[in-house]
Structure 1
Amino acid sequence: MYLEVKSMKKSYGQNESYIQVLKGITTGVKRGHICAIEGSSGSGKSTFLNCIGGLDTLDSGSILVDGKEIVGLKQNELSDYRRDNLGFIFQFYNLVPNLTVEENIQVCEYLAENPLDMEELLDILGLKEHQKKFPSQLSGGQQQRCAIARALIKNPKLLLCDEPTGALDSKTSKDILILLEKINKKYGTTILIVTHNNSIKKMVHKVIDIKDGQISKEYENEIRVPAEKLEDL
């Protein structure tokens, strides 16, 4: 397993405001697989993703990424872990408004030891003709493509996607999922996708369904539907 999670527990608040969000999750994802993490709002999906991404700390449990334990790392070690291993894609694109598409991507390119080729990435994501534009000059789908390019330029081993199609229409959502599928095949990137969308689970290798902070079911797809054939996005 590339990602191994054991007895993951996470809570917030104290006394009357105390809430346990994750209640002992144990699971794993194979190297190079795409995994959908599903569940209703408040089920703990994003907290699960944030803990794997080192953005949130666990109360207890273990998170092994490529054999390395990340629970208990110091802040500078977590920063190194995120820099060297992870790419993040969020529902809201978080682009720097006064930087062009190219410059937004370069922000992360400078952090990487072995970045992907900028021209190749712009070509794959259909951004070549937009590279000198600012975010305000782009559509929502183009902004999300830019956010994906920024995450990928570092050549991350693990790509964490929190509702990457949540703010997009159905056609643009399909385009983005086709891109993620292409990235997975081309670079062998392990991808976790937190989503509300039931259709996405048909294209992935594995589905983890979280309910009330626990895994209610998980399974691997024997037959996967290509992203371009997904319906009801």
Structure 2
Amino acid sequence: MFLEIKNLKKSFGKNGSYVEVLKGITTTVEKGEMCVIQGASGSGKSTLLNCIGGLDTPDSGGVTVDGKEIVGLKPEALSDYRRDYLGFIFQFYNLVPNLTVKENVEVCGYLSPEPMAMAMLFEVLGLTEHQNKFPSQLSGGQQQRCAIARALVKNPKLLLCDEPTGALDSKTAKDILILMEKINQTFGTTMIIITHNNAIKDMVHRVITIKDGTISNTYQNEQRIPAADLEEL
């Protein structure tokens, strides 16, 4: 099993502001699977993703990735884990403002012994003509595409995606999903995707639904729809 989550609990605040966000999440994801996590706002989706990514520290429970338990790791070891295993796509772009698009992507490419070809990423994501621009010269959608290219160029073992197509038009969203599907098929990259786009769940292997900090449903798609055939993106 590539990803194992065992009785994961996470809360925020104290006394009157105390909120229990994750109330004992237990689930697994196989190596090479694309997995969608769904749920209403405040259900705990992003907190779960942050715990998997080593960005939030759980109160209790375990998160094992490729045989490595990450809960309890010291900051330096967590940094190594994120560098060696993960690619992140979040709602906020977090681009380096004084680097061009190409340089923002190159920074992550240098971290991988087998980076993806940037020219291919730029073409698919519609960034070829923008690669020498700075983030301040880009639209919000173009900045999101740059953030996606930066995450994918490292060819990560585990790609954590929080609304990866949320800021994009329908055509570009489909192009990105087609690319992610191709990466999954070619390199076996395990992907966890948080999305409010209901169509995306039809292209993945596994769907997990969270409600009020617990898993309310989980299933595997027996008949997946190719990303190119998805509707209503």
1:135 aligns with 2:144: no
1:43 aligns with 2:43: yes
RMSD (CA atoms)? 1.7
Match of 2:19 in 1: 19
CA distance in 1, matches of 2:120, 2:196: 31
Deviation at 1:90, TM superposition (A): 1.1
CA distance in 1, matches of 2:117, 2:203: 27
CA distance in 2, matches of 1:77, 1:188: 24
Indicate conservation of the 8 Å contact 1:9/1:24, yes or no: yes
CA distance in 2, matches of 1:140, 1:177: 18
Deviation at 1:139, TM superposition (A): 4.2
Match of 2:72 in 1: 72
Indicate conservation of the 8 Å contact 1:141/1:172, yes or no: no
CA distance in 2, matches of 1:185, 1:103: 27
Q: How many residues align?
A: 233
CA distance in 1, matches of 2:60, 2:162: 23
Indicate conservation of the 8 Å contact 1:119/1:128, yes or no: yes
Deviation at 1:126, TM superposition (A): 4.4
CA distance in 1, matches of 2:28, 2:205: 12
Q: Which stretch of the first structure deviates more once superposed, 139-148 or 35-44?
A: 139-148
Q: Which stretch of the first structure deviates more once superposed, 74-83 or 172-181?
A: 172-181
Match of 2:152 in 1: 152
Superposition pairs of residues 42-191 of structure 1, within 5 angstroms? 42-191=42-191
1:57-110 superposed Cα distances (whole Å, 9 cap, x missing partner): 011111110011001000000000000000000123222233211101122123
What secondary structure sits across from 1:4 in the alignment?
strand
Indicate conservation of the 8 Å contact 2:118/2:153, yes or no: yes
1:16-69 superposed Cα distances (whole Å, 9 cap, x missing partner): 111110010110111111000000000000000000000000111111100110
1:7 aligns with 2:7: yes
Match of 2:199 in 1: 199
Superposition pairs of residues 205-224 of structure 1, within 5 angstroms? 205-224=205-224
Indicate conservation of the 8 Å contact 2:124/2:175, yes or no: no
Indicate conservation of the 8 Å contact 2:181/2:227, yes or no: yes
TM-score by length of 1: 0.93
Deviation at 1:11, TM superposition (A): 0.5
TM-score by length of 2: 0.93
Question: Match of 2:151, as an amino acid?
Answer: A
Report % sequence identity. 73
1:105-133 superposed Cα distances (whole Å, 9 cap, x missing partner): 12212333443343444345443333222
What secondary structure sits across from 1:57 in the alignment?
coil
CA distance in 2, matches of 1:155, 1:228: 22
Cα gap change, 1:186 to 1:128, in 2 (>3 Å) = farther
